[in-house]
Structure 1
Amino acid sequence: MVFHENYSNLLTQLPPSLIKARWNRLTTRKKNPLSESEASSISPIIEAFLKHEVDKYQRKKKSQYNPTIEVETESHCIVIPVSKPEKSRFKEETKSRISDSSSNSLLYRPEGSLLRNNTNIVPLYSEEEVNTRIKEATDNLRQEFIKSTKETLKTIKQQKDIMQPN
């Protein structure tokens, strides 16, 4: 179970468990399984497969460590980063927020990284503006929901009237 050494730069980007799983996938798949000698040789198919797996793994890893919530409205889209701090860092942030009485002690960049207030950085949007945009988006979603519910109920009623002749 060894890929060719030319692929070591790709394999170092994957965890060992994933390398083993991909090896098993290549050698035991139902349609056109590769022999161990074919899988351990240099081949454009294997190289493309490994590149695809690395890309897929890195996209998944990036989305796990940098998740975002998108709130869409008719005119714009607000991207709100969601942080997943480790437990120890979370405790430190919570303590610093509680101990500091100023409301602007921590500011958030659009990427979601924390900034201390000792720099002269102004928030991109005020809290009121963000709240207004979120309220507009929820109002729009509520109106769309009501409209689609009415349409659905109307079609159900029409189908019911068709099914039950007088």
Structure 2
Amino acid sequence: MKFNKAYSSLINKLPPSLVCEAWSRIISRKRNPMTEEEASSINPLVESFLRHEVNRYQKKLKYQRKSWSIVKNSLYNTDMPDQETQTRDTDPICDHEEEINCRVKKELDSLSRQLLEYNEKTFGSLIQEITKQLEERVNTNNKLRSEIERQKIQLQKTEKLLADLSNNK
């Protein structure tokens, strides 16, 4: 990347990464791409492009500064009660521990029931279909096993019959 030194005042306002990116963009534009020689020479298009990049970068910095000041102010300007007020306004947890545990258990039971109902509604028909297919496959496998056993018995009978015939000769 070799921008002309005449543009050094503009280039110095940009970080090196943006200078590299600007160089790549100027020589690889879709419409009217420039050769490296054209981009390296003094050219009003290059100057205009660099001014545009500097303006974009400065606007970005200004926005970031403004955003950071808002965040910083919101962090430091929060109204926090002092520790004495906090401790005075609260009851110790141990007095209500049983009540809290009871509420938590009830809420967990309720959520568990809701989850089961949701799963049943959502996946019930799918599980029924899978169960039906599984039962059909089990029945088919059992029939095939029975047929295989029947064929084995018939084969044994046939082998025995052949053995008897060959012995009788």
Shorter-chain TM-score range: 0.3 to 0.5
Higher strand share: 1
Higher helix share: 2
**Which structure has more RCO (C-alpha within 8 Å, separation ≥ 6)?**
2
Q: Which has more radius of gyration?
A: 2
Structure 2 length as normaliser, TM-score? 0.42
